[in-house]
Copies of this chain bind each other. A is one copy, B any other.
Amino acid sequence: MKLYRPTEECGIFGIYGHPEAANLTYLGLYALQHRGQEACGIVSSDGRSLHVHRSMGLVADVFGDQGIFRNLPGEAAIGHVRYSTTGDSVTKNVQPIKVDYSRGSIAVAHNGNLVNAQMVKDELEAWGSIFQTTMDTEVILHLLATSKQNALEDRIAEALGRLKGAYCLLFLTETRMVAARDPQGFRPLCLGKLGDGWVVASESCALDLIEAEFVREIEPGEVVVITKDGITSHFPLKKDEAAPCIFEFVYFARPDSYIFGKNVYMVRKDFGRQLAREHQVDADIVIPVPDSGVPAALGYAQEAGLPFELGLIRNHYIGRTFIEPQQSIRHFGVKIKLNPVREILEGKRVVVIDDSIVRGTTSRKIVKMVRNAGAKEVHVRISSPPTSYPCYYGIDTPTRKELISSSHTIEEIRRYITADSLGYLSEEGLLQAVGAGKNPYCKACFSGNYPITFPTLAAAPQLDLF
């Protein structure tokens, strides 16, 4: 049995009420490109019908031709960027999905992952539905089409009531745009305004680019309906305890974004400060693993009173293919991306800051690289707790077997990556830095405590199939 490939690591954007809706959606996706580099798409509405352009590739490549926008007319549009989690990169899995149903046409863009998708799919198939993609998102449209409700928002509410998992959704019909966020608010979603038009985006950096005004975040469990008569807010779903994904702060979101009530850069700096308090070390300089480790490294350096330096230089021209020499025993993996600056590192006791360790292989190469460049000591500090459990709510993590910290002690990891010392930010430190009250974040990847349990044992094999 083929299981769903989770719709992981995506970004969504929508705009309603602007004469250049599709072009601005393209810009919004541009700003959200870090949330998904594999594929992208836009659906626009001209008030009478929906228009689609979707393809594998980066936003700048897929939409790099002015002519495309002539085929995406109208004053409303939604868009989607998707990350490649597996080799199964079939074009038909590109979003937004657009379908015809009894009330006309509707398109949807989804960021997140439904945990009961297979179960709902089984029910729908038993009833007679056919599925043309392997995306859990398709389930949502089937539920919406088979709803007995009349009003669009009631159909959406009924469909969402059947779903379990993480979702930020953008729907577009001929005349309406609807945004929805799951009751626990795993993924970020914000609302903005541009002239008379409304904008919805995964992160505020997309509003910034098009110079839209940030209005507020869409709340967990909220459904926002936008028509030409304005905007209405609904809370049709059962309330639940909020569980925003703390990994958005650690790694995924852009530092200039404002999500879950905070600026990402500032939170990362505070992670670094807290890390410095928890894992002090006698050292000469602090360097980040660029680019994700930079804010935490600045925080660490400031707190520890050590100089911050860019000891590893990143090559910005990495292509999507990389042809390695065939006969060489060398493996270029990390070297092609990073190069150490000997003059900074030579003879120094170096603190290297990274946001996480997954398999440990990259960290090991970086430690060796820094040491070969002359560092006397290499102390690795990680601005998050050990990642021991896979995510089922929209972050692409490997299986437990591949997560080094799920099977090794910190000392074992330190020895593997050949660091002189290794320190992870504690879970308490993390929460304290983010200013959390007692339990408002999903930190299942650290703790294994999943806020949403899987509906049946039958779904268990899925856990290992990501």
Contact with A298, one of B19, B310, B326 (Cβ below 8 angstroms)? B310
Q: In residues 279-332 of chain A, which contact B (Cβ within 8 Å)?
A: 291, 294-295, 298, 302, 307-310, 313, 315-328, 330, 332
Whose C-beta in chain B lies nearest to the C-beta of A322?
B60
> For the complex, is A462 an interface residue (Cβ under 8 Å from B)?
no
Bound form: Cα–Cα A29–B454 in Å: 46
Say yes or no: B37 contacts A317, CB within 8 Å.
Answer: yes
Please give the number of chain A residues whose Cβ is less than 8 angstroms from any Cβ of chain B in the complex.
Answer: 95
> For the complex, is A448 an interface residue (Cβ under 8 Å from B)?
no
Complex interface: chain B residues within 8 A of A65 (CB): 321, 323
Complex interface: chain B residues within 8 A of A322 (CB): 60, 64
Say yes or no: A99 contacts B131, CB within 8 Å.
Answer: yes
> For the complex, is A171 an interface residue (Cβ under 8 Å from B)?
no
Q: A105-123 toward B: CB 8 Å interface, digit per residue (1/0)?
A: 1000000000000000110
Choose, from A235-243, A338-346, A404-412, the stretch at the interface. A338-346
Say yes or no: B102 contacts A126, CB within 8 Å.
Answer: yes
Nearest CB on B from A157, distance (A): 16
> For the complex, is A459 an interface residue (Cβ under 8 Å from B)?
no
Nearest CB on B from A460, distance (A): 21
Say yes or no: A341 contacts B64, CB within 8 Å.
Answer: no
Complex interface: chain B residues within 8 A of A68 (CB): 323
Q: A132-156 toward B: CB 8 Å interface, digit per residue (1/0)?
A: 1010000001100111000000000
Question: Which of A61, A105, A131 gathers the greatest number of chain B CB atoms within 10 Å?
Answer: A131
Nearest CB on B from A146, distance (A): 3
Choose, from A205-213, A349-357, A358-366, A415-423, the stretch at the interface. A205-213
Say yes or no: B66 contacts A323, CB within 8 Å.
Answer: yes
> For the complex, is A255 an interface residue (Cβ under 8 Å from B)?
yes
Say yes or no: B99 contacts A128, CB within 8 Å.
Answer: no
Bound form: Cα–Cα A105–B121 in Å: 13
> For the complex, is A27 an interface residue (Cβ under 8 Å from B)?
yes
Contact with A129, one of B26, B101, B105, B208 (Cβ below 8 angstroms)? B101
Say yes or no: A327 contacts B33, CB within 8 Å.
Answer: no
Bound form: Cα–Cα A60–B64 in Å: 19
Nearest CB on B from A213, distance (A): 12
Contact with A266, one of B27, B126, B344 (Cβ below 8 angstroms)? B344
Bound form: Cα–Cα A216–B49 in Å: 46
Whose C-beta in chain B lies nearest to the C-beta of A142?
B130
Bound form: Cα–Cα A259–B205 in Å: 38
Complex interface: chain B residues within 8 A of A134 (CB): 100
Complex interface: chain B residues within 8 A of A256 (CB): 313, 339-341
Contact with A30, one of B130, B255, B315, B343 (Cβ below 8 angstroms)? B315
22 CB-based A-B contacts, threshold 8 Å: A2-B105, A23-B325, A30-B317, A31-B315, A52-B90, A58-B319, A59-B319, A60-B317, A68-B323, A92-B92, A99-B132, A101-B128, A101-B130, A102-B125, A102-B128, A127-B128, A208-B339, A254-B313, A254-B339, A263-B341, A265-B313, A265-B341
